Amino acid sequence: MFETLGERLAAALKKITGRGVLRPEDVDAGLREVRLALLEADVNFKVVKEFVERVRARLAGAEISPGLTAPQTVVKAVNDELVELLGGNAEGLRYASRPPTVVMLAGLQGSGKTTTAVKLALLARREGHRPLVVALDFRRPAAVEQLKTLAERQNVAFGTGEEAIAEAARLSCDVVILDTAGRLHVDAELMEELKELKGRVRVTETLLVADSMTGQEAVKVGEAFGKEVGIDGVVLTKLDGDARGGAALSLRVATGQQIRFAGTGEKPDDLEVFLAERMASRILGMGDVLTLIEKAERSIDQTKAAEVEKHLRAGQLSFDDFLSQIRQVRGMGSLEGMLDMVPGGGALKGQLAGADPEREMKRMEAIILSMTPKERANPQLIDGARKRRIARGSGVQPADINRLLKAREAMQKLAKQFGPGRKGKDGRFIEHLGYYDPMTEPVQVKIDVDKVKKWLQQGAQPSEAARSLLKREGILERRAEKSTPTA
């Protein structure tokens, strides 16, 4: 998400080269590019104008902050204003003091209300509540059946019609999410229906579900729903497919309400509480490691991960372990989405252009599932005949089987380097030299000289930090003297 906006902002900020005090010409040049980047990202013109002026006022005559360069000072100013523009951090669902909490989802057809209803239900369940999703869209063909299917797939309680709301207490459900009818365009009949529904049902809050792919149209929809129906927040969907992201920056201003949630994919867990600080960081290419960690915590089975790690360290990685890892990584969402959360991930995405990591993981999964349990547990059994059989069963070429076998071997070799007493080319030294950088910390540590000499004789290559300490202790020099040939 936000690829175009992020790339243009990064290019704009690189042009600022002032030193000491930011010169007006540096600021003007940079902000011209920022303005163009925002307009190309489909941000509303008035929003762009106000945003640029606020950044300019923040930078006017500003001294370079201690420890920051001129470009970094501008990045900080832009980041702070982005957070302000996005409305600060949202609070997630607002639960009623007296259950049930009733959340009404409103929006046009195709905005993603039905899938959002189930995603919100799963979020409420993770927070300790028992949700019920209710289908109220009887105009769109198969709308009720779609919500029912999605709810059953995630084991979420389902009901139809307003009478289902009264059933919440009987079903022990304390959160009710209403999937209302939509239209292809905003019209008076739709608005009247929603207003009447709010009059009949004690709604805790109304959330507008807006499709970020529609750009400025999403802003017009937000203004109309806010004025006619009244909304308490926005759910912005399909952000994973919107490279520009202008709607996200305009909707908050247009509606006067916070963007509460962001839909970032098709999977049930691909709904995030909209945290402005993290989103601004992603837009500026600085990543969002905290969200990535939270996704990992939800997706990765710690018991299975510990078991795989144990097998790796023992050099006994089976294809069952490999399959477990593939499925857990896929459970975290798309690789592109994860790279958005890694600082500098945009550059890596460029290198992956044309590649299809998702397809490759599915291919590996198909290959492993075509193996017998004995082959998965003992990969060394897989000979030429078995490779041909597995290739036929999974619809791939024998060369693909070879690549998978090599990938497993590479993982095993890497794991051995980090095993007990062998922690990679640096780690074997760090284990005895101490966990610090000897270039900057004058800490005296006890060195196991005999072990270090043995590793060096075996061809080990220490890091620059470890090499510096070994030289300081005279170990590398002594070894060099011994290895110098005599005339």
Strands 418-419 and 271-273: unpaired
What whole-number distance in Å separates Cα of residue 311 and Cα of residue 414? 13
Strands 418-419 and 131-135: unpaired
Please check whether residues 278 and 307 belong to one and the same domain: no
Please check whether residues 61 and 123 belong to one and the same domain: no
Query: Which of 418, 447, 473 marks a domain boundary?
Result: 418
Cis peptide bond upstream of 485, omega within 30: no
Are 216 and 250 within 8 A, CB to CB?
yes
Please check whether residues 123 and 240 belong to one and the same domain: yes
Find tokens 């170990």 and name the residue: 475
| Most distant CA pair in the chain, distance | 101
Low-confidence ranges of the chain (pLDDT < 50): 17-18, 243, 288, 343-345, 347-348, 351-352, 418-445, 479-487
Q: What is the pLDDT of residue 393?
A: 92
In a domain, 427, yes or no: yes
Please check whether residues 413 and 428 belong to one and the same domain: no
Report field, pTM of the whole predicted structure over 0.75:
no
In a domain, 264, yes or no: yes
Query: Which of 223, 257, 286 marks a domain boundary?
Result: 286
Please check whether residues 414 and 428 belong to one and the same domain: no
Please check whether residues 354 and 390 belong to one and the same domain: yes
Domain with residue 329: its CATH number is 1.10.260.30
Write out the two tokens for 98: 């007296």
In a domain, 94, yes or no: no
Please check whether residues 405 and 443 belong to one and the same domain: no
- Give the closest residue to 283 by CA, choosing from 335, 222, 239: 239
In a domain, 149, yes or no: yes
Please check whether residues 305 and 197 belong to one and the same domain: no
Please check whether residues 188 and 280 belong to one and the same domain: yes
Q: What is the pLDDT of residue 258?
A: 87
Please check whether residues 156 and 105 belong to one and the same domain: yes
Q: Give me the sign of the Cα torsion angle 87, 89, 93, 95.
A: negative
Query: Would you give the end-to-end CA distance of the chain in angstroms?
Result: 66
What whole-number distance in Å separates Cα of residue 180 and Cα of residue 222? 16
In a domain, 270, yes or no: yes
Query: Which of 418, 438, 461 marks a domain boundary?
Result: 418
Please check whether residues 168 and 281 belong to one and the same domain: yes
Q: Give the Å distances, CA to CA, from 319 to 12, 137, 327, 328, 366.
A: 47, 46, 12, 14, 12
Please check whether residues 19 and 156 belong to one and the same domain: no
Q: What is the pLDDT of residues 75-120, one digit of tens each?
A: 778 888 888 888 877 778 999 988 899 999 999 888 899 999 999 9
Find the domain containing 13 and state its range: 3-85
In a domain, 277, yes or no: yes
In a domain, 90, yes or no: no
Which secondary structure element, helix H or strand E, spans residue 175, and what is its range? strand 175-179
Structural domains in the chain (count): 4
Secondary structure (3-state) at 204: coil
Domain with residue 135: its CATH number is 3.40.50.300
- Give the closest residue to 261 by CA, choosing from 387, 177, 170: 177
Domain with residue 22: its CATH number is 1.20.120.140
In a domain, 122, yes or no: yes
